[in-house]
């Protein structure tokens, strides 16, 4: 299958003008890692990557996260030993969001796009392609290098779940680069929010809606009372909340007795996140007391946030890399969680790096070809800059 698709890609090289190794790797993975139908179902893709890493001279280990999350592949750790001191970690995720099956990539000016019926999955196959291309470049150049650690995670797109199960003691690196961010190459994500999922269940009292409505406690109306008293949307410059799901079902002749509502809160600071969680719990308690309904709030803390100061080694290194590559640098906080959140929580300084894609998670997703090509060069330059 793989050689056949490689030949197909190569024979269509005109359509993908000036195809580079990095571009080729990206396209091959788009087309071959096609069993990524769901975020947990990535067996075929992970097997391809294990082989590629092994062929590059890495020792490769796959953990049992698949079993723990009900998926069929684990996180992949790879190490390319080097002759120089130091260690550096690169990471991307193997899963993709829904509608990532049967992708038909094509060139559209300076960009690679899908045919408009699926996502492109540049998030995050482009990161994987760039890391593999960086390793290939290092091997081809024969340059001495330090220990290079590679991490390809599963189930990142569902609450950054795969990296929750990592064995962080396997890593020797003190800094990590997570190639998993939208934007042009040169964009550095130095922060990401804390996040919690919020759920409340309302247990009311059923009663005949026509004969005895006063004996009932309406769970739908009670839920609406909670929602009307709790803030939503932009909470502050650094915090947001989003109430996204409201489920209740019942015939109109019975006072509704059950509803479940869920949402999320994100914040750049743990203080604001915890303050909103307390506000949520208080509103639930107040409305329960007023209405007589049972309201059960549930808070699932998904991940911790991070903020890497510009003076930190990972960012100083990237400034040097981009100066050498003559690429303008943009340093921004991101609005979503990523594997860098968990790496930072576990003591590894990690930042996000863009690889040129945009409008990810939609059928309008695209990637700038030049950025994709230069992302492999970026990985090579990070390794060669050697300040870690």
Which one from 156, 157, 339, 365 is the annotated catalytic residue? 156
Token duo for residue 2:
């793989």
Of 23-31, 42-50, 116-124, 188-196: span binding Zn ion (CB under 5 A) = 116-124
d(CA 67, CA 47): 16
Taking CA 14 as the corner, what is the angle to CA 8 and CA 15, rounded to the nearest 5 degrees?
Answer: 75
Which 17-56 residues touch Zn ion, going by CB under 5 A? Answer: none
Among 63, 124, 201, 368, binds Zn ion (CB under 5 A): 124
Instruction: Please say whether the beta carbons of 21 and 139 come within 8 A.
Output: no
Closer by beta carbon to Zn ion, 23 or else 119: 119
Number of residues that bind Zn ion (CB under 5 A): 3
Of 110-118, 137-145, 175-183, 239-247: span binding Zn ion (CB under 5 A) = 175-183
Among 149, 180, 201, 380, binds Zn ion (CB under 5 A): 180
How far lies 276's CA from each of 207, 265, 279, 285, in Å?
34, 8, 5, 14
CB of 190 to Zn ion, least distance (A): 17
CB of 19 to Zn ion, least distance (A): 24
Q: Does residue 133 belong to the site contacting Zn ion (CB under 5 A)?
A: no
Query: Would residue 95 show up in a list of annotated catalytic residues for this protein?
Result: yes
Q: By C-alpha distance, which of 299, 278, 282 is closest to 290?
A: 282
Which one from 95, 123, 272, 377 is the annotated catalytic residue? 95
Of 41-49, 115-123, 231-239, 366-374: span binding Zn ion (CB under 5 A) = 115-123
Of 118-126, 141-149, 208-216, 376-384: span binding Zn ion (CB under 5 A) = 118-126
Instruction: Please say whether the beta carbons of 293 and 206 come within 8 A.
Output: no
Sorted by sequence, the CB contacts under 8 Å of residue 45 that are 6+ apart come out as: 29, 32, 33, 34, 35, 36, 73, 94
Closer by beta carbon to Zn ion, 222 or else 344: 344
Query: Would residue 264 show up in a list of annotated catalytic residues for this protein?
Result: no
Q: Does residue 95 belong to the site contacting Zn ion (CB under 5 A)?
A: no
CB of 123 to Zn ion, least distance (A): 4
Residue burial 90-108, b: 16+ Cβ < 10 Å; e: rest: bbbbbbbbebbeebebebe
Residue 43 three-state SS: helix
Closer by beta carbon to Zn ion, 121 or else 255: 121
Q: Does residue 380 belong to the site contacting Zn ion (CB under 5 A)?
A: no
305 bridge partner residues: none
Of 25-33, 102-110, 180-188, 367-375: span binding Zn ion (CB under 5 A) = 180-188
Q: Does residue 365 belong to the site contacting Zn ion (CB under 5 A)?
A: no
Among 62, 63, 95, 123, binds Zn ion (CB under 5 A): 123
How far lies 5's CA from each of 10, 15, 136, in Å?
8, 15, 20
Closer by beta carbon to Zn ion, 124 or else 201: 124
CB of 156 to Zn ion, least distance (A): 6
How far lies 133's CA from each of 85, 104, 127, 377, 380, in Å?
22, 22, 10, 8, 8
Token duo for residue 314:
């990972």
Footprint on this chain of Zn ion (rule: CB under 5 A): 123-124, 180
User: Would you please indicate which residues are annotated as catalytic (active-site) residues?
Assistant: 95, 156
């Amino acid at each position: 299958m793989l050689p056949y698709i490689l030949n197909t890609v190569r024979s269509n090289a005109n359509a993908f003008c000036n195809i580079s190794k990095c571009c080729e790797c990206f396209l091959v993975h788009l087309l071959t890692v096609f069993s990524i139908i769901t975020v947990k179902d990535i067996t075929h893709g992970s097997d391809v990557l294990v082989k590629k890493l092994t062929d590059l001279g890495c020792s490769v280990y796959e953990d049992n996260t698949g079993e723990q999350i009900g998926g069929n592949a684990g996180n992949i750790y790879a190490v390319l030993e080097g002759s120089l001191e130091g260690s550096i970690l690169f990471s991307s995720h193997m899963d993709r969001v829904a509608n990532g099956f049967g992708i038909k990539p094509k060139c559209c000016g300076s960009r690679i796009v899908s045919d408009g019926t699926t996502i492109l999955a540049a998030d995050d196959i482009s990161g994987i392609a760039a890391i593999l291309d960086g390793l290939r470049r290092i091997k081809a150049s024969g340059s001495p290098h330090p220990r290079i650690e590679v991490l390809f995670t599963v189930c990142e797109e569902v609450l950054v779940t795969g990296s929750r199960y990592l064995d962080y003691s396997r890593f020797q690196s003190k800094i990590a680069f997570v190639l998993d961010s939208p934007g042009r190459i040169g964009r550095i994500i130095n922060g990401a929010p804390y996040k919690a999922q919020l759920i409340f269940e309302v247990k009311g009292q059923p009663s005949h809606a026509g004969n005895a409505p006063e004996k009932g406690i309406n769970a739908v109306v009670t839920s609406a009372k909670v929602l009307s008293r709790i803030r939503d949307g932009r909470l502050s410059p650094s915090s947001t909340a989003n109430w996204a799901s409201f489920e209740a079902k019942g015939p109109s002749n019975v006072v509704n007795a059950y509803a479940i509502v869920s949402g999320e809160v994100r914040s750049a600071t743990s203080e604001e996140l915890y303050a909103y969680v307390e506000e949520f719990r208080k509103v639930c308690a107040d409305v329960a007391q007023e209405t007589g309904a049972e309201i059960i709030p549930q808070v699932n803390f998904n991940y911790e946030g991070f903020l890497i100061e510009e003076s930190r080694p990972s960012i100083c290194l990237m400034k040097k890399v981009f100066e050498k590559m003559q690429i303008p640098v943009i340093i921004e906080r991101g609005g979503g969680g990523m594997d860098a959140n968990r790496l930072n929580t576990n003591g590894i300084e990690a930042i996000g790096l863009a690889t040129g894609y945009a409008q990810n998670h939609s059928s309008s997703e695209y990637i700038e070809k030049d950025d994709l090509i230069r992302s492999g060069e970026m990985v090579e330059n990070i390794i060669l800059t050697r300040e870690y």
